């Protein structure tokens, strides 16, 4: 297997991470976020749902608890800009409304890159969760929508949001990665802490391995693929300027 190239992200100043649930960023992607924020890059998180259907407790209790845990997870990797679009957890539908909401947020943030999570039918060693499949594909489509002034014209006409071309789309947790972000010792620890922040959620999941037991291992595996000590890998799509074009 050939060595994965490092992501050409040195000129980037902003990454927008859009995923379905609280904790979706915390299975490796947050390690890359830690590297970026310590370099001075601005990173924002947008969650499509509050993850309110993910625990045994009623959604009214779960949503605020998971928000707190996500805020702590964000803080451990230097992220303070967190928003939740409020779609119903577990019932995310592929719709133009969802794409428009994501395109809006991309045009508002004007990121160099958009990061989302794996949207394949099979992922993470099994059948991928329904919201994950919808979220990732909607994000991929919305990156294109955000760049096209003739799609969702009301975003321009009524909200004054001009078209925005994102340089690259990054898909975390993909079985066929194309690029890697090297992670240092601090980044590995921050990634572990970011998943540990979801304490009540992890307690709820029967048999969930301890973050400190498997996150460093995932990052070491990525490092092996990239020829470095530790790395987070991504499947990267050039959307209009990955190599500074
Ligand atoms: Zn999830």
Per-residue pLDDT of 56-83, as tens digits, reads 899 999 999 999 999 999 999 999 999 9
- 191 CA from centroid of ligand 1 (Å): 16
The answer to pTM > 0.85 is yes
Q: Read off the pLDDT of residues 95-146 as tens digits, 9 standing for 90 and up.
A: 999 999 999 999 999 999 999 999 999 998 899 999 999 999 999 999 999 9
What pLDDT does residue 2 have?
A: 82
- 119 CA from centroid of ligand 1 (Å): 11
pLDDT at 243 over 80: no
- 157 CA from centroid of ligand 1 (Å): 34
Q: Read off the pLDDT of residues 14-72 as tens digits, 9 standing for 90 and up.
A: 999 999 999 999 999 999 999 999 999 999 999 999 999 988 899 999 999 999 999 99
pLDDT at 244 over 60: no
- 114 CA from centroid of ligand 1 (Å): 17
For residues 25 and 87, give the distance between their C-alpha atoms in angstroms, rounded to a whole number. 18
What pLDDT does residue 241 have?
A: 79
Which residues are in the CB-under-5-Å shell of ion ligand 1? Answer: 21, 24
Asked whether 243 and 8 are in contact (CB, 8 A), the reply is yes
**Sequence-separated (6 or more) residues with CB below 8 Å from residue 245:** none
- 84 CA from centroid of ligand 1 (Å): 14
Percent over 70 (pLDDT), the chain: 99
- Under the banding of pLDDT at 50, 70 and 90, the label for residue 149 is very high
Looking at per-residue pLDDT, the higher value among 183 and 240 belongs to: 183
Percent over 90 (pLDDT), the chain: 93
pLDDT at 245 over 60: no
- 149 CA from centroid of ligand 1 (Å): 31
Q: What is the mean pLDDT of residues 165-193?
A: 98
DSSP annotation of 229 reads S
For residues 226 and 2, give the distance between their C-alpha atoms in angstroms, rounded to a whole number. 9
Burial 137-165 (b: 16+ CB within 10 A, else e): bbbbbbbbbbbeeebbeebeeeeebebbe
What pLDDT does residue 1 have?
A: 62
Asked whether 169 and 113 are in contact (CB, 8 A), the reply is yes
Asked whether 178 and 4 are in contact (CB, 8 A), the reply is yes
What pLDDT does residue 240 have?
A: 80
- 90 CA from centroid of ligand 1 (Å): 9
- 153 CA from centroid of ligand 1 (Å): 31
- 46 CA from centroid of ligand 1 (Å): 13
Average pLDDT, the chain: 96
What pLDDT does residue 108 have?
A: 98
């Amino acid at each position: 297997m050939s060595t994965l190239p490092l992501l050409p992200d040195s000129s980037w100043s902003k990454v927008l991470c859009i995923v379905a649930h609280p904790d979706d960023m915390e299975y490796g992607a947050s390690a890359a976020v830690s590297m970026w924020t310590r370099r001075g890059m601005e990173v924002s998180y947008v969650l499509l749902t509050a993850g309110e259907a993910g625990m045994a407790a009623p959604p009214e209790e779960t949503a605020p608890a998971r928000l707190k845990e996500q805020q702590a997870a964000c803080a451990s990797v230097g992220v303070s800009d967190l928003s939740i679009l409020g779609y119903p957890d577990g019932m995310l539908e592929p719709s133009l409304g969802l794409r428009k909401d994501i395109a809006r947020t991309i045009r508002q943030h004007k990121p160099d890159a958009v990061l989302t999570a794996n949207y394949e039918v099979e992922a993470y060693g099994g059948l991928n969760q329904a919201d994950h499949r919808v979220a990732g594909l909607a994000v991929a489509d919305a990156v294109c929508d955000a760049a096209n002034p003739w799609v969702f014209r009301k975003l321009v006409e009524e909200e004054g949001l001009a078209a925005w071309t994102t340089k690259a789309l990054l898909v975390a947790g993909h079985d066929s990665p194309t690029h890697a972000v090297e992670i240092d010792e601090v980044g590995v620890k921050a990634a572990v802490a970011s998943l540990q922040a979801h304490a009540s959620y992890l307690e709820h999941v029967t048999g969930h391995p301890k973050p400190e037991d498997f996150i460093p291992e995932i990052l070491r595996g990525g490092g092996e693929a990239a020829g470095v000590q530790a790395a987070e890998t991504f499947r990267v799509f050039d959307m209009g300027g990955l190599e500074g074009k």
